[in-house]
Structure formats: C-alpha cells, structure tokens
C-alpha cells in the first residue's frame, strides 16, 4: 500500500474533474480490479481493508487516452425548458420497485406527484435524479433492479440517465447494508489517510454495483472543540487541516471508484448545535474564524475536483447579513463558493423538506435556491409545485434563460463524466 502523506500530490486525479478540465478529450485511467467477491451480509471493515487493492496510481503504460465527443451542447440545445427544469430535481419516490408498488406507496406518490409509480414519475417529470431513503431499500438485488429499471425509463425517454444518490458516510449514517462493507465513523478513521482513501474506494465500488453514481459524502464540517453539536462523529474532527486531508482522501477514493462525491454541508455545519432537520442553525462567527476553520476542508475538496458541493440549511450573519439559509443565499453560493473560491461544479441543496426551511413556500423555495446558485434541488416536498414554480419563473424572466442553462449544463457535464448521458437526442 502506498503511504499517502499528501493525497493531493501522490495520487492520480479523479476522472470526475472540474468543468475546466473536461471537454472533448477525456483521460481515462485504467480500471482497477473489482473486489473479488461480495456477500449477502455486511463485510467486516478490518478484513475488507486488509484484503483490498488500494487505488494506487496506475502505471503509465496502462493509461489510455480516449477521444469522446462532447454531446452536452447539442443535448442542451435540443431540450425544452420543461425538460431542463426536470434535470434540476432530485426527489425521493415511494416504492422498492419501479412499477409494482403497495397501496400506501401509491397514495404517497399520488399526493406528491399525481402519478402512481416511480417509473411513471421519472418519465413524466424528466427527472435529473432520485435519492434512495429506507423506504426504497430492501436487499442488494432489489436495489440493483430498481436502479436499473429507473435508468432504463430515463434513458429510453430522453437519452439522459439519472443521478442515483444515497447517503453512505460510514458510522451511524449508512442507508445500504446488504453486500457492502459498513465502515466506522469519520471520527474513528480520522488521521489515517490510507484507511479513509481505501474505505471510500471500496464504498464507491460496492455502491456502484447496486446502481448508485452519487454518494452524499464526505462530511467536510469541522466540529468545535468545545461543542460537538449536531454533526458529532460524522466529522473527521476539530483540526481543520486533518479534516481537509481526510476529506480529500475520501473524495479521491469515491471518485476513483467511479461515483460522484458530495462534500457537505457548505459553508460548515460542524460548529452549530441545532439540527437543521428541526430548525435553522446560525453559525455565529466572524469571517476570519470561518476562513481559519470551516473554509479549509472545502478548499481541499475543490482542489480535489469534488463533483458536488452540498449546501446546508444554515445562516451565517457575518457573511450574509440577511441571515437567510445558505440554500437560498446568493452571497454564500454565487459570490463566496463560486466566484471567490472558484468552484465550478454542481451545487446541490440539502433536503428541502427539512425543518430549517419549512417556513418557505414550497415553490418559492426552489426558485430562490436556483437563483442563489444551486443546480440540484434535493427532496422537494411537493414535486409538482417545484416544477411549476421553476417553469413559471423561467417564463416570466425571473430566472434568466442563461442562468437555467448554466445550471443544467453543470448537471449534464457531471452525467457525461459518469457515463449516463447516452446520446445527443
């Protein structure tokens, strides 16, 4: 195993690079050997780490340069605004099967969308992605089938596949447990770059086999030394540089395994005591303290070409005097994350059904999030309201056409990198 004292300088860049490094020519590293076998029960992490092949740099002679046509401009040009809006939506759908759902699941889908099954919803809304929650998950084979069936529906109707996402951080946040290795928490792995790199690589490989191409990890939050707060052991700790090194290693492992990583929760949820699932947390620190602590891991994530930055529902009055949640803050997304820090990848909101943003009208919330700079709306509570509000905002000019097109382009570029943008329509 290679000792990775500086993960950003001793290992190959992920093929999921930043938009500035993507285009007609893609350099594809040779595929690393898949794990020899999988079992129906969770794998012991120590055994898995001991027996796995780490993602060391591939020998130069095995690296191949492949020319691929950049289809994003032609795909974008052929899309209607309704189809573009669909690419910004990533709901949770009720059911463990794309077509056969229970009466209770039908009722939930009808209430949210007016349609009965996940397959119908994907096709009707031209969805950009879906996220799986416990109600979608039973066994590895069932998840593989659901993912495959939903991808088939999306690709047959538009030529644009889905982003299929799941929360899989290790520790206490693991949605998938069948035929995967359940690793310890970030706190338990902190300080060991090799272990973090390898655990993330294994996680990415195993989840990809079940049809996932987006993993909502790593947690890039730095916890306060005196207040563990809501994030707790999901963080790599209290030292910003240690967290930054672990975050970079995790992103590298996941993205070398072929899935997109999502660093969370911008601009930093670790020093807040309030759970944003319940209410709006305030990060009451000045800019200098934020730059010395919260900013450091996100800088490392951007340097590592992280595919997605997930924005948390938290306010930071010293940076944005409106005290609006970062999710709807142009100051915190467009100005700080994109313009100042130079991030040009996909921005995803945290789940929009959380208590921190419950005071917003459901349609207005997604419009403000897009205007603030977000590209993917995660778990809009009312899918029809979100779709209608975004379409109306584009027609009225409130969301300029070029703003919508820029957001959709970022989503399509990620899909092209992940291999789910199949055609130029």
pLDDT per position as a tens digit, 278-330? 667 778 899 999 999 999 999 999 999 999 999 999 999 999 999 999 999 99
What is the arithmetic mean of pLDDT over 234-246? 96
The CATH number corresponding to 7-418 among 3.20.20.300, 3.90.940.20, 3.40.190.10, 3.30.1330.10 equals 3.20.20.300
Domain extents for the chain? 7-418
Q: Do residues 369 and 327 lie in contact, with contact meaning Cβ atoms separated by under 8 Å?
A: yes
Q: Given 245, 324, 350, 417, which residue is catalytic?
A: 350
194 is a catalytic site residue: no
Half-sphere exposure of 77 (CA within 13 A, CB side): 7
403 is a catalytic site residue: no
Residue 317's contacts (CB-CB under 8 Å, 6 or more residues apart) are 282, 284, 323
pLDDT per residue as tens digits for the range 192-211:
999 999 999 999 999 999 99
The percent of residues above 70 in pLDDT, for the chain, comes to 82
Nearest residue to 355 via CA among 381, 388, 333: 381
Nearest residue to 404 via CA among 364, 355, 370, 378: 370
Please, what is the average pLDDT of the chain?
86
pLDDT per residue as tens digits for the range 18-57:
433 433 223 223 323 333 334 445 555 655 554 555 555 4
Report how far apart, in Å, the C-alpha atoms of 25 and of each of 58, 334, 417 are: 19, 28, 11
- What is the reported pLDDT for 59? 46
Kindly report the pTM of this predicted structure. Answer: 0.86
Q: Does 256 or 54 have the greater pLDDT score?
A: 256
Q: Given 44, 47, 277, 279, which residue is catalytic?
A: 277
Nearest residue to 27 via CA among 36, 38, 35, 16: 16
Which contacts (CB < 8 Å, 24+ apart) does range 329-338 have? 329/372, 330/371, 330/372, 330/373, 332/266, 332/267, 332/372, 333/266, 333/372, 333/373, 333/374, 334/372, 334/373, 336/267, 337/266, 337/267, 337/298, 337/309, 337/373, 338/373
């Amino acid at each position: 195993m290679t000792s990775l004292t500086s993960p950003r300088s001793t290992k190959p860049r992920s093929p999921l690079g930043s938009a500035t490094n993507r285009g007609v020519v893609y350099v594809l590293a040779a595929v690393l050997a898949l794990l020899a076998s999988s079992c129906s029960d969770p794998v012991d992490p120590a055994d898995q780490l001991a027996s796995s092949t780490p993602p060391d740099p591939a020998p130069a002679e095995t690296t191949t340069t492949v020319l691929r046509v950049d289809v994003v401009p032609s795909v974008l040009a052929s899309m209607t605004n309704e189809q573009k809006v669909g690419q910004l939506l990533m709901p949770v759908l009720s059911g463990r099967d794309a077509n056969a759902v229970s009466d209770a699941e039908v009722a939930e889908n009808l209430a949210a969308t007016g349609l009965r099954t996940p397959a119908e919803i994907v096709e009707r809304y031209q969805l950009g992605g879906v996220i799986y929650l416990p109600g979608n998950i039973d066994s590895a084979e069932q998840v593989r089938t659901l993912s495959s069936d939903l991808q088939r529906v999306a690709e047959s109707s538009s030529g644009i596949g889905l982003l299929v996402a799941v929360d899989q951080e290790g520790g206490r946040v693991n949605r998938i447990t069948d035929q995967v290795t359940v690793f310890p928490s970030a706190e338990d792995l902190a300080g060991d770059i090799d272990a973090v790199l390898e655990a993330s690589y294994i996680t990415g490989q195993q989840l990809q086999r079940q049809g996932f191409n987006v993993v909502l990890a790593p947690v890039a939050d730095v916890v306060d030394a005196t207040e563990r707060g809501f994030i707790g052991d999901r963080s790599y700790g209290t030292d910003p540089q240690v967290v930054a090194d672990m975050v970079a290693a995790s992103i590298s492992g996941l993205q070398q395994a072929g899935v997109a990583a999502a660093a969370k929760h911008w601009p930093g949820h670790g020093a807040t005591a309030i759970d944003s699932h319940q209410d709006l947390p305030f990060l009451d620190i000045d800019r200098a303290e934020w730059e010395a602590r919260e900013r450091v891991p996100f800088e490392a994530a951007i340097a590592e070409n992280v595919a997605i930055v997930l924005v948390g529902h938290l306010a930071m009055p010293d940076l944005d005097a409106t005290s609006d949640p970062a999710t709807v803050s142009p100051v915190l997304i467009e100005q700080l994350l994109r313009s100042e820090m130079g991030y040009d990848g996909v921005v995803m909101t945290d789940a929009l059904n959380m208590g921190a943003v419950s005071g917003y009208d459901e349609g207005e919330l997604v419009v403000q999030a897009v205007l603030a700079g977000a590209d993917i709306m995660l778990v809009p509570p009312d899918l029809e309201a979100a779709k209608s509000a975004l379409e109306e905002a584009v027609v009225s000019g409130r969301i300029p056409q070029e703003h919508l097109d820029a957001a959709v382009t970022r989503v399509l570029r990620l899909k092209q990198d992940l291999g789910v943008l199949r055609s130029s329509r």
